[in-house]
Structure 1
Amino acid sequence: MASIKRDEIEKSIAYAEKNGIFEKLNKIYDTVPSGKCEGCAKCCMESVGINLTEFLNIYKYLKERPEIYNKYIDKVLDYYFMEYKEKKPCPFLDENKRCAIYEVRPLNCRIFGHWYKSDYNLNLDSIKEKNRDYRDLMKARYGFEINEDVVEYRIEYCEKFIPDNGERLSKEERLSYLDQIMILDSQIYSKGMIDIDFRDRGIVEYFIDSLFFTDTSYNMKIKISQDFDKGEKVLKRIKKIVAVGKK
């Protein structure tokens, strides 16, 4: 059983469709300024944070395209369970550095190039400090070292992205987009159709929670991280179990 049950997802998607929530989400996306991106994909190196409404929108998109879902769910598993060993790109990035879910990519992807450099670097410094604290916690609690390349990885500020209007977004403007999407989330949560805790999740974590209980997946991740040689065999078994569940 998963933390986010399949029937809860389907009911929430049906509610969102009936009440125009995905249309409202797209209208929010449409107000994000456009810009010129070189497509280097250097920014596509994390489990980017998303909201519930965004997860449901992406999940619906993939389930309507099972060939894409089936191709990328293994990459989701690789990213999550091997996260402490090596830094992998976003699992939805294809071999040609193209986004497999570009049409429904989340807000954080859409506004990435729109940060002011000073704001971006302050946020990056905060993330690095949290990563180091987490590394120390894992060492003290479970006795293993997170790969230092993972801990210290930086997605550098993009100097090459050019906003079409020549202006980047202030912190207040970026947060206003987030607030609008959180209002959509609250409409779904208020109906009690989906029983999950209200916390920050990345896109990978949302999909993992749609496959496993949170405690189960986390405990398996810790065991794999304590011995990666044996862990790769465990991951192969996990993939087989998930593959059976997709049928």
Structure 2
Amino acid sequence: MLPSVELYNALNKAQGNNMLAELQQIYDKLPQTTCNNCASCCNWGSPPAFFIEYLNMYKYVRDNMKEQWGEVLTRSAEYFYLELVDVNQKCPFVGPDNRCSIYQVRPLSCRIYGLLAKSDFEKGDLNQGLKFIASKLWDEYQIKVPSEIANSELKWCGNVKNPTGKHLKMDVLVSATSEVAKIDARFFPENLVDQEGTSLPYPVHLMNTVLGDGARARKIKIMKEFADQGTKTMLAPILKKANNFEF
């Protein structure tokens, strides 16, 4: 789990040392893709983001989305606790029109989707991780992950287009990821960053900030209640707390 970092000290450090500008420069090296807004990639789950990307997102939501704070926080809390047991969960930042509410500050993992050729994209098997987690949850806690989630798969999408008309090589995307990780290493020990300890979905980062170190402690019980009964009794007061949080 990501160590606790005093958020505003970290944000001030990032701004004072031009880290957010460095992050944007990395983003700007990538082609700007377009698509048909089907949101199939967004509905698959909330993609991982490095800590510096989380700070970038947090600042954006704080400064530009005050009217949506409650909605963002409530949906993020639900996603944090129920992503593996509720088939209706999707990235909390996707709106009913399938558009991303934080598109300007979306993480690298979103920006690189569709930039690889199909053959390169399909070399990895993202689904194996979900199957392992589903098996572990059943063996240890008798929590049944719905088959729609355990067997879900992020597929290559031919509707994503970039202006160059060419797909990028894997080493280009690996290099971009490494550059972002180097910024994170200015906050955390390099070995933690190397192990992807700072790369977490936005809602996970956000709930660690909003709910503190106890956020994960309640997760198994809340998941089991929903999986067994379809209810959110234990989750309700947490949603209320999240809804009242001010950025």
Q: Same fold (TM over 0.5)?
A: yes
Change (3 A) 1:213 1:35: closer
CA distance in 2, matches of 1:165, 1:31: 12
Displacement of 1:212: 2.7
Provide the rounded CA distance (Å) in 2 between the counterparts of 1:225 and 1:203: 19
**Residue equivalent to 2:141:** 142
Q: 1:108 to 1:172 in 2, by over 3 A?
A: same
Amino acid at match of 1:49: P
The 5 Å alignment of 1:61-210 reads 61-64=60-63, 65-87=65-87, 88-123=89-124, 126-189=125-188, 198-210=197-209
Point out where structure 2 has 5 or more consecutive residues left out of the alignment: 190-195
Query: Which amino acid in the other structure matches residue 25 of structure 2?
Result: K
Q: Distance in 1 between matches of 2:25 and 2:246?
A: 32
Match of 2:223 in 1: 225
Residue 3 of structure 1 deviates from its aligned partner by 6.1
Count residues with an aligned counterpart. Answer: 235
Structure 1 unmatched runs, 5+: 191-196
Q: Which amino acid aligns with 1:11?
A: N
After superposition, what is the alpha-carbon deviation per residue over 1:45-76, rounded to whole angstroms, capped at 9, x for unaligned?
A: 21201111100000111111322332211111
Deviations 1:8-42 (A, max 9, x none): 11111111111111111111111111233111111
Match of 1:58 in 2: 57
Distance 1:14 1:85, change over 3 A: same
Instruction: Tell me if the contact between 1:115 and 1:168 (Cα under 8 Å) persists in the aligned partners.
Output: yes
* TM-score scaled by length of structure 1: 0.87
Between 1 and 2, higher relative CO (CA 8 Å, sep ≥ 6) is seen in: 1
Check the 8 A contact 1:35/1:162 in 2, yes or no: yes
Give the aligned residue type for 1:109: C
The secondary structure found in structure 2 opposite 1:165 is: coil
Q: TM-score, normalised by structure 2?
A: 0.87
Which residue among 26, 29, 32 is the counterpart of 1:31?
A: 29
After superposition, the C-alpha distances for 1:173-226 in whole angstroms (9 at most, x for unaligned) are 111001111111122337xxxxxx944311121112112345x32332211222
- Percent identity between matched residues is 23
The answer on whether the counterparts of 1:86 and 1:149 sit within 8 Å (CA) in structure 2 is: no
Asked if structure 2 preserves the Cα contact closer than 8 Å seen for 1:58 and 1:105, the reply is yes
Structure 1, residues 124-172: CA drift from partner, whole Å, max 9, x if none? Answer: xx22122111111111111121111111112221012222112112211
- Report the aligned-residue RMSD: 2.1
